[in-house]
């Protein structure tokens, strides 16, 4: 059973455009939702995270939108740059545990 569903699997965006990656979950016990960025051969690096008491969080060009009733959250990358080309994973953690449930990842390519 896939706890966190992520889409799209891959995404190609023009430089300066907006990249949008979506995730959905079922388990209402999840209450922490981080996004990780991973470059080839490297470990996942925390990008931004949100808790369900807010609907949006913005850090620089990265924004998480969170819809608690729909059990969906998304990552928006504004003014996408070639250096943003990487794989992005959403994740969710339950309020009673430590296990990160990762999505399947989105390979983002930003073309100049």
Partner 1 sequence: EPEVTQTPSHQVTQMGQEVILRCVPISNHLYFYWYRQILGQKVEFLVSFYNNEISEKSEIFDDQFSVERPDGSNFTLKIRSTKLEDSAMYFCASSTHMNTEAFFGQGTRLTVV
Q: Which residues sit at the interface with partner 1, rule CB under 8 A? A: 31-32, 34, 36, 41-46, 49, 89, 93-105
Considering the complex, state which of residue 41 and residue 112 has its C-beta at the smaller distance from partner 1.
41
For residue 54, give both structure tokens: 């807010």
Both tokens of 77, joined, read 């990358």
Shortest distance in whole angstroms from residue 83 CB to partner 1: 19
Query: Is there a cis peptide before residue 16, judged by omega within 30 degrees of 0?
Result: no
Give the DSSP H or E segment for 5: strand 4-7
Strand pairing partners for 22? 7, 74
Q: In whole angstroms, how close is the CB of 79 to partner 1 at the nearest point?
A: 25
Identify the DSSP state of 71: T
Dihedral angle, C-alpha 43, 100, 4, 104, nearest 10 °: 20
In the complex, least distance from residue 42 CB atom to partner 1, rounded to whole angstroms: 6
CB of 40 to partner 1, least distance (A): 11
């Amino acid at each position: 059973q896939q706890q966190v569903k992520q889409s799209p699997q891959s995404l190609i965006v023009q430089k300066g455009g907006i990249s949008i990656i979506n995730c959905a979950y079922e388990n209402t016990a999840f209450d922490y939702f981080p996004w990780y960025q991973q470059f080839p051969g490297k470990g996942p690096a925390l990008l931004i995270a949100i808790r369900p008491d807010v609907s949006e969080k913005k850090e620089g060009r990265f924004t998480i939108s969170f819809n608690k009733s729909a059990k969906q959250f998304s990552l928006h990358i504004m003014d996408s740059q070639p250096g943003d080309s990487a794989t992005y994973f959403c994740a969710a953690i339950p309020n009673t545990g430590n296990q990160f449930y990762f999505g399947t990842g989105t390979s983002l390519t930003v073309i100049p």
